[in-house]
Amino acid sequence: MSEAFRLGGWGMYPTCVVGLVLVGVAFAHAWHPTRRRAGIVRSLSMLTFLVSTLGFITGAIRTLLVASDAPIGELARLVVGGLGESLNNIGLGLVLLVIAWTAHTVGAARLGAKSTAADLEAV
């Protein structure tokens, strides 16, 4: 895991920070669901996706720039290796999104159960 983090480059740091905040808010939403927290989870999810994509894109740009000066014999190895390393950003972002949305789903179910119980009491 630490090797994947290292290979992903600088983009792994903002992806990790934003993604861990997302996971924290998603777990808070699972324990104490509110519509406000649900909105924050959605916003942080988009931010996590964008940050991980930015990490991948900047890594891909760097890979292609370095490969442009490489001899033809090493071109394929450099491009495939560099893009593979850059994909670690997307992988980390997706792992954090899956964890967060699993917790968000629990919160959404609990929020729905609370609103249904309140609706039934009002009748």
DSSP 3-state of 69: coil
pLDDT band at 120 (very low <50, low <70, confident <90, very high): very low
CA dihedral 76→52→93→64, nearest 10 degrees, is 0
pLDDT band at 73 (very low <50, low <70, confident <90, very high): confident
CB-CB contact of 48 with 93 (8 Å): yes
Question: What gap in Å lies between CA 54 and CA 49, rounded to an integer?
Answer: 9
Question: What gap in Å lies between CA 68 and CA 14, rounded to an integer?
Answer: 28
The per-residue pLDDT for range 7-51, each reduced to its tens digit, is 888 899 999 999 999 999 999 999 999 999 999 999 999 999 999
